[in-house]
């Protein structure tokens, strides 16, 4: 049996484009003599459709599209993902399903059993869990068809307390009772740089445990903040990876089932440096955000600092130099080299830019406010005023020319609230909001790996918001090397505060950092969506109460 794995980039709700892509792939696979084409989870609708699943016309379009794909499966079979209706009177209205299409019609429908409700997932909000387990029969083979989480039942809970296993049910154990010949898993598993090896181990472990080949098809592409890396796999019954598909790009490959069992393991080594993966993910995230939204051009404030420098390079790679516009907005506190560094970077990239000093606007605001502020001393009010003037100018260009403003704040700043609401926190999409400052520097060095794209001075000067005379980030925050490690323990690992201190971090620094994180929740509630590259990004995957006193 020739099996085709179709790792494609779908657009949520774009049924016409998704259908065309599926049918085109089927036709090409048929010409190559393929017997079965496997597509990813919720192929037809795109993943995650979120509350579009509550709209009748959306579900009708999903089911209609499946019916329109089925006639193209007369001499070839396909597995496509789509919501399906729960016709039982009890439970949620929908299932998350895999449709088995053959001989021009729907032959069977398999429903997902394990519905994740952690991190960015909220599937139980819409779907009913499956309780009917059976294999598919095709060309004399019995197929154990699973949907994403259904093969991930043994994954641990990533917390410092509680149980070590997330689910009490194992769908694969139920399917194994029918003595299947192979396992298929269709998924929409988002990228997290610190979960690459763990994801592979799920499939190698299941293949070895059941002594069956595993065919895993993952979605690729970005959907708002979520980035799917692809990386679909074929694993032999011994738990050895014998095929791995492209990461961060569409890929379609054929495999002979009879050869998979005897195929030799291919050499896969987890990258020692995760920065190249993050780089690819962010470029894909930006490219798809603009492409799927119908936007073409971006704008950002180019300050001469490391964050805006890395952001403009990523945007240029995703959109093209002519589609990325920069405003250099110096104030009376901006150093001369910040302007010259930013200008040199824009010239290196070939991106259009303008220099608009903001001192005149700032002086006018001071005059306007003086009768009320009188002789009160300069403080954060005047600092934030500069950031908000810059946001007004950037948004004026956005409105006038249709540019989308890129937010360039990093995760360290977002965590501790080191940013100005309606100022430098503004934007349509956050490029670096899931990247700690330490890793922003690593990204910059990676960008400069072959030639100096980002001027060297940007990489070596102390980070500063330049909103006050002689200001440095270290005046307000711990050194980023220490800050980022504390934040990683508290946010990603959810380590209790006492244990962070026990690991050797200064108690006063830890307590101050955690207090800043918790007190800044109100700012993050108003932040733009953040391109997600970790297992715990701010936004939909980290839901904290705004009005709470939990530390």
Catalytic machinery residues: 41, 112, 148
- Under 8 Å CB-to-CB from 354, ≥6 apart: which residues? 326, 327, 328
Classify residue 229 as exposed, middle or buried by CB count within 10 Å of its CB (0-12, 13-18, 19+). Answer: buried
517 in Cβ contact with 415 (< 8 Å): yes
CA 287, 292, 297: angle at the middle one, nearest 5? 55
* Angstrom distance (rounded) from CA 332 to CA 376: 20
Give the CA dihedral 538, 543, 548, 550, nearest 10 degrees.
-80
- Under 8 Å CB-to-CB from 80, ≥6 apart: which residues? 22, 39, 43, 44, 66, 69, 98, 99, 101
Tell me, what DSSP letter sits at residue 199? H
What is the arrangement of strands in the sheet containing 214-218, beginning at the earlier edge strand?
Answer: 136-138, 141-147, 182-187, 214-218, 233-235, 241-244
338 in Cβ contact with 304 (< 8 Å): yes
174 in Cβ contact with 215 (< 8 Å): no
325 in Cβ contact with 315 (< 8 Å): no
* Angstrom distance (rounded) from CA 63 to CA 69: 10
184, containing H or E segment? strand 182-187
How many separate helices (H) and strands (E) can be counted in the chain? 17, 19
Nearest Cα neighbor of 180 from 216, 148, 207, 217 is: 207
Considering only CA atoms, give the Rg of the chain: 26
> Distances from the Cα of 93 to the Cαs of 44, 89, 217, 381, in angstroms?
18, 9, 26, 52
* Angstrom distance (rounded) from CA 363 to CA 429: 30
Collapsing DSSP to helix, strand or coil, 469 comes out as coil
432 in Cβ contact with 415 (< 8 Å): no
* Cα torsion angle, 144, 145, 151, 153, sign: negative
Q: Give backbone dihedrals phi and psi of 167, rounded to 5 degrees, phi first.
A: -120, 150
List 184's β-bridge partners, or say none: 145, 215
Q: Residue with structure tokens 């207090």?
A: 515
- Under 8 Å CB-to-CB from 88, ≥6 apart: which residues? none
Collapsing DSSP to helix, strand or coil, 142 comes out as strand
Token readout for 383 is 């600092």
């Amino acid at each position: 049996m020739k099996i085709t794995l179709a790792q494609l980039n779908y657009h949520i709700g774009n049924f016409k484009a998704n259908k065309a892509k599926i049918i085109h792939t089927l036709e090409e696979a048929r010409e190559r003599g393929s017997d079965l084409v496997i597509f990813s989870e919720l192929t037809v609708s795109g993943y995650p459709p979120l509350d579009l699943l509550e709209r009748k016309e959306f579900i009708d379009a999903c089911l209609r599209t499946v019916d329109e794909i089925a006639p193209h499966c007369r001499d070839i079979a396909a597995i496509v993902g789509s919501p399906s209706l729960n016709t039982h009177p009890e439970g949620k209205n929908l299932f998350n399903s895999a449709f088995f299409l053959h001989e021009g019609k729907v032959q069977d429908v398999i429903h997902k059993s394990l519905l994740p409700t952690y991190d960015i997932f909220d599937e139980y909000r819409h779907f009913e869990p499956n309780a009917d387990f059976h294999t598919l029969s095709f060309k004399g083979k019995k197929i154990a068809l699973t949907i994403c989480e259904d093969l991930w039942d043994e994954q641990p809970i990533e917390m410092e307390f509680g149980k070590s296993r997330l689910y009490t049910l194992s769908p694969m154990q139920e399917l194994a009772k029918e003595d299947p010949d192979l396992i298929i898993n269709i998924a929409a598993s988002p990228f997290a740089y610190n979960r690459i090896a763990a994801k592979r181990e799920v499939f190698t472990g299941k293949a070895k445990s059941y002594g069956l080949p595993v065919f895993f098809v993952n979605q690729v592409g970005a959907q708002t903040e979520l980035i799917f890396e692809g990386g679909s796999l074929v694993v032999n019954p011994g738990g050895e990876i014998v095929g791995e598909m492209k990461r961060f790009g569409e890929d379609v490959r054929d495999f002979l089932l009879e050869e998979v069992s005897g195929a030799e393991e291919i050499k896969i080594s987890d990258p020692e440096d995760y920065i190249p993966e993050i780089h690819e993910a962010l470029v894909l995230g930006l490219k798809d955000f603009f492409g799927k939204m119908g936007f073409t051009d971006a704008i950002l404030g180019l300050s001469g600092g490391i964050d805006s420098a890395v952001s403009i390079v990523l945007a240029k790679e995703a959109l093209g130099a002519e589609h990325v516009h920069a405003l250099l907005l110096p104030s009376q506190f901006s150093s001369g080299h910040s302007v010259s560094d930013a200008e040199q970077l824009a010239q290196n990239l070939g991106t259009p830019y303008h220099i608009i000093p903001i001192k005149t606007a700032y002086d006018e605001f001071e005059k306007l406010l003086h009768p009320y502020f009188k002789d009160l001393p300069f403080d954060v009010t005047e600092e934030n005023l500069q950031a908000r003037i810059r946001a007004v100018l950037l948004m004026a260009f956005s409105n006038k020319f249709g540019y989308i403003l890129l937010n360039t704040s990093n995760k360290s700043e977002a965590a501790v609230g080191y940013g100005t609401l309606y100022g430098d926190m503004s934007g349509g999409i956050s490029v670096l909001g899931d990247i700690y400052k330490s890793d922003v520097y690593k990204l910059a060095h990676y960008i400069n790996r072959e030639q100096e794209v980002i001027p060297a001075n940007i990489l070596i000067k102390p980070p500063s918001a330049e909103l006050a005379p002689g200001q440095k980030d270290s005046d307000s925050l711990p050194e980023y090397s220490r800050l980022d490690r504390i934040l990683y323990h508290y946010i990603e690992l959810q380590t209790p505060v006492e244990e962070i201190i026990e690991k050797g971090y200064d108690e006063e620094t830890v307590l101050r950092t955690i207090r800043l994180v918790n007190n800044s929740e109100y700012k993050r509630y108003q932040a733009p969506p953040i391109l997600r590259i970790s297992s715990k990004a701010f936004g939909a995957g980290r839901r904290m109460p705004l009005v709470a006193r939990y530390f």
